[in-house]
Amino acid sequence: MKRNLYVSAAAAAVLLAGGPAAAAAVLLAGGPAAAVAATADAVRTAPAAATAPLADTTAEGAAAAALKDYPGVIESLDREANVWHVDVITKDGKGHAELKVDAATGKVTRENVDTDGDAGEHKDLLAAKVTAEQAVKAAVAAHPGEAWTVEWDSDDNGKAASWHVEVRGSDGKTWDGSVDAATGKVTAESDHSDSDEDYGNDDNG
């Protein structure tokens, strides 16, 4: 009876390490002692589990993190190396925060906060039907890739307010476009190729 218990325990251990085939082979070859020894060897030589890479924070993720830290409306969001720079305006128009969001961890750092701004200066942004987050989704839907920049653009020359969005494609090219702040219509401005040095390897951020 004791021998059967030993065999069962050894087989169970080897099953965990190498599966049914390994357990059967070891038991047939050398019995319980061999199974225990083989299990120990398997544990010593088993490769360490690969460490999962940190998730990269997208434009949408950076916006969400920024607004959680400082509620309001996104005015601009720009990726520089491994950092997102985000400007947020409070919904009363008086507060303005410049935030940094770590692209690897999502951690938010407040660089500058102003609570005594001119509410009238941001009235168009606050009244816009299309938010920065929605502009990003619209732009990426029109031109697949990763949004790298979204900026509020409201000119005084009668031009309709819009969001300027840059989308970086898998082919390395950057697509520039605008998203109408009232209708969400996407208009392409240009396609050009930018090197990774411009977008991914700038350590100044």
Question: pLDDT tens, 175-196?
Answer: 999 999 999 999 998 655 444 4
Q: Does 93 fall in a domain? A: yes
pLDDT of res. 15: 36
User: Which residue among 51, 68, 84 closes a domain?
Assistant: 51
Q: Does 205 fall in a domain? A: no
Looking at the structure, do residues 124 and 157 belong to the same domain, yes or no?
yes
Looking at the structure, do residues 81 and 170 belong to the same domain, yes or no?
yes
Looking at the structure, do residues 33 and 118 belong to the same domain, yes or no?
no
2/61: higher pLDDT: 61
Q: Does 83 fall in a domain? A: yes
User: Which residue among 10, 32, 51 closes a domain?
Assistant: 51
Burial (CB < 10 A; 0-12, 13-18, 19+), residue 2, is exposed
Looking at the structure, do residues 68 and 120 belong to the same domain, yes or no?
yes
155/166: higher pLDDT: 166
Looking at the structure, do residues 42 and 75 belong to the same domain, yes or no?
no
pLDDT greater than 80 at residue 109: yes
pLDDT greater than 90 at residue 161: yes
Looking at the structure, do residues 100 and 164 belong to the same domain, yes or no?
yes
Looking at the structure, do residues 30 and 94 belong to the same domain, yes or no?
no
149/7: higher pLDDT: 149
Looking at the structure, do residues 81 and 157 belong to the same domain, yes or no?
yes
Looking at the structure, do residues 98 and 133 belong to the same domain, yes or no?
yes
Q: Does 204 fall in a domain? A: no
Q: pLDDT tens digits, residue range 66-95?
A: 999 999 999 999 999 999 999 999 999 999
Range of the domain at 127: 59-199
Sheet holding 162-168, edge to edge: 108-114, 96-102, 83-89, 73-80, 146-153, 162-168, 173-180, 186-193
Is 40 within 8 Å of 18 (Cβ atoms)?
Answer: no
pTM for this one? Answer: 0.66
* Structural domains in the chain (count): 2
17/51: higher pLDDT: 17
Looking at the structure, do residues 12 and 92 belong to the same domain, yes or no?
no
CA distance 93 to 156: 19
Mean pLDDT score of the chain: 77
pLDDT of res. 158: 65
Q: Does 136 fall in a domain? A: yes
Looking at the structure, do residues 44 and 66 belong to the same domain, yes or no?
no
Minimum mean pLDDT range among 152-156, 161-165, 166-170, 175-179: 152-156
Looking at the structure, do residues 125 and 28 belong to the same domain, yes or no?
no
Q: Does 16 fall in a domain? A: yes
Q: pLDDT tens digits, residue range 20-73?
A: 444 444 433 455 444 444 444 543 444 444 433 345 899 999 999 999 999 999
